Amino acid sequence: MFKRSFVLFQKASSRMPPVELQYKNMLKDPKGKYNAFKKVHLPNRTWPNKEITKAPRWLSTDLRDGNQSLPDPMSVAEKKEYFHKLIDLGFKEIEVSFPSASQTDFDFTRYAVENAPEDVSIQVLTQSRDHLVRRTVESVKGAKRATIHTYLATSDVFRDVVFNMSQDEAIAKAIETTKLVKSLTKDDPTMQDTIWSLEFSPECFSDTPVEFAVEICEAVKNVWEPTVENPIIFNLPATVEVASPNVYADQIEYFCTHITEREKVCVSVHPHNDRGCGVAAAELGVLAGADRVEGCLFGNGERTGNVDLVTVALNMYTQGVSPNLDFSDIESVIEIAERCNKINIHPRAPYGGSLVVCAFSGSHQDAIKKGFTKREARNEVAWKIPYLPLDPKDIGRSYEAVIRVNSQSGKGGAAWIILRTLGLDLPRQMQVAFSGVVQDSADKLGRELKTEEIAELFKQEYIATSDAPIQALDHYELAKKNDKGDKQIDAGLAINGQNVPIVGSGNGLISAFVDGISKKFNTKFEVANYSEHSLGSGSSVKAATYIQLKYLNREGEKAATWGCGIDGDVSQASLQAIVSVLNKLVAANEISI
């Protein structure tokens, strides 16, 4: 029927006139107003065949670029706390402020200088103006390591629209500023206790002709006179992301292969995220030859943010490359970033999002559960779990957060939670049955079920409680009945507090007991499925038994239900599982007591 209806729809739709899209503000043809970015001519590019094999140098600019982008900037106390967290994570280069912008920024820079470990370089940003440069250098006086970061817009549009400056004038300005910084720092005899570095950014590098970017950086380098031991830093920022990441990589490789004295140069990338490709741009930039990556934790920054350093670092980690940054306790990093930035991490943000290690889909949950089961059985070192590229425990998250259950969840999700919380490894058919119970509950509540709620549902559904009307007594006798191997059981049940004898026969304990209850309750019971496993270890080990009984319900239809028993004795656990089924049938008015 569906197939025929679909064919009829196809025929009808083929006769419909084409729908003309109605544009309001977007242009039907954006060409002319927006033009494709002109690519770099780099026919012999090498970056596509490379791979990342070691961590780059990292620069956190959370306290400068990140803070600068906040509607409500950090307080001094928050900046101090954030600063120490960055050090704890392993950052060795931290851009702390724009010290000439305010007394607050200047004072915080002094705090950073006085509290930074010896191997951490304090970086400060300044515009290319004489009095601002002097104020900036003054802010880091006495630092063990300091980097003065100067910048100058080099793109055609910025030079034309903002500064009305020619390329030659831009080069002259960059040289002038570099000479001033040099005279105030490494050439000043009173400043020799500090290891001075210079970072120069041809701002809007991503929109700058690469030949000019190389030319202006060459001029700056010649003035600064870097060494192999202390190279000059050229930051090549995608100040505005104007093209796809492969174009940015071509620009980086062109620069790396055309700048002279490459061994005296640290190429740094600072991708913004206007096109949503900041992480990809950083990774391809490293493939193209970049030595350093600048960004913020979780990508905070102006407009759509800058590159997310957590993602770049953990991407490397999942490829077997140590990032030299420690995110073992990512929850504490999230907490301080959210509180100090007053911006929440998106629940689906890579690695940091609250939902990224959680599966709600039934098929996803089943695959994850099977992955963990096989990993434990094989005792594997290599991480091979479906849907989880990173072991949550590596970043301080528990496995309990991996699978969360709502009405979309299947058998694997609920079974995973029961395994992790109660230690019970449910047989597959029982998983199917229990998932129906969980879905019904989730539908009624209209929300996700908590772990403790799922565990409690299982106990109510499958394990007899101490106040249930039927209780298994802890003594029985099993004796040989005849030469055919049949056995007879003499056992008992406590029904509403009264001891009731149970006598039955079969080829073993369970079949004999089931025969006995069939006679007692005048209902034919059969064992449909049986499974058991040990629970715990050592002297406290117990047996967990799962039994499914078939029976005829009051309408005369075949039905089946499960029970679970837990006891130090496997036989007693089996009897308890059967008794839990009886209690369910009493509650459902299927049998009478």
Q: For the beta carbon of residue 331, count every other beta carbon within 10 angstroms.
A: 12
Per-residue pLDDT, averaged over 522-541, amounts to 88
Higher pLDDT, 333 or 487: 333
Same domain membership, residue 479 and residue 456: no
Is there a domain that residue 30 lies in?
no
Same domain membership, residue 152 and residue 92: yes
Alpha-carbon distance of 364 to 402, in angstroms, equals 11
Helix, strand, or coil (residue 233): strand
DSSP for residue 504: E
Of 276, 307, 341, the residue at which a domain comes to its end is: 341
Alpha-carbon distance of 574 to 531, in angstroms, equals 9
Which residues does 381 contact at the CB level (< 8 Å), separation at least 6?
none
Whether residue 533 has pLDDT greater than 50: yes
Same domain membership, residue 312 and residue 199: yes
Is there a domain that residue 10 lies in?
no
Indicate the pairing of strand 526-535 with strand 542-552: antiparallel
Same domain membership, residue 370 and residue 505: no
Which token pair is 323?
Answer: 């990032």
Same domain membership, residue 449 and residue 474: no
Q: Using the structure block, give the residue that is written with the tokens 């100090």.
A: 340
Is there a domain that residue 11 lies in?
no
Same domain membership, residue 124 and residue 219: yes
Same domain membership, residue 530 and residue 445: no
Which residues does 121 contact at the CB level (< 8 Å), separation at least 6?
92, 93, 94, 145, 146, 147, 195, 197
Same domain membership, residue 103 and residue 161: yes
- Confidence (pLDDT) at 409: 57
- Confidence (pLDDT) at 322: 97
Same domain membership, residue 198 and residue 71: yes
**CATH number of 513's domain:** 3.30.160.270
Domain count, the chain: 3
**CATH number of 98's domain:** 3.20.20.70
Per-residue pLDDT, averaged over 179-193, amounts to 97
Residue 371 sits in which domain range? 362-460
Of 430, 460, 490, the residue at which a domain comes to its end is: 460
Residues 126-136: tens digit of each pLDDT: 999 999 999 99
Q: Indicate the length of the chain as a whole number.
A: 593
Average pLDDT over the chain, rounded to an integer: 90
Cβ burial, residue 90 (10 Å; 0-12/13-18/19+): middle
Per-residue pLDDT, averaged over 475-489, amounts to 81
Whether residue 327 has pLDDT greater than 80: yes
Same domain membership, residue 189 and residue 76: yes
Same domain membership, residue 478 and residue 455: no
Is there a domain that residue 212 lies in?
yes
Most confident of 172-186, 405-419, 472-486: 172-186
Element (H, E) at 458: helix 451-462
Whether residue 108 has pLDDT greater than 90: yes
Which pTM value belongs to this model?
0.74
DSSP for residue 495: E
Is there a domain that residue 18 lies in?
no
Q: Using the structure block, give the residue that is written with the tokens 């058991």.
A: 532
Which token pair is 418?
Answer: 């029961």
Is there a domain that residue 416 lies in?
yes
DSSP for residue 357: T
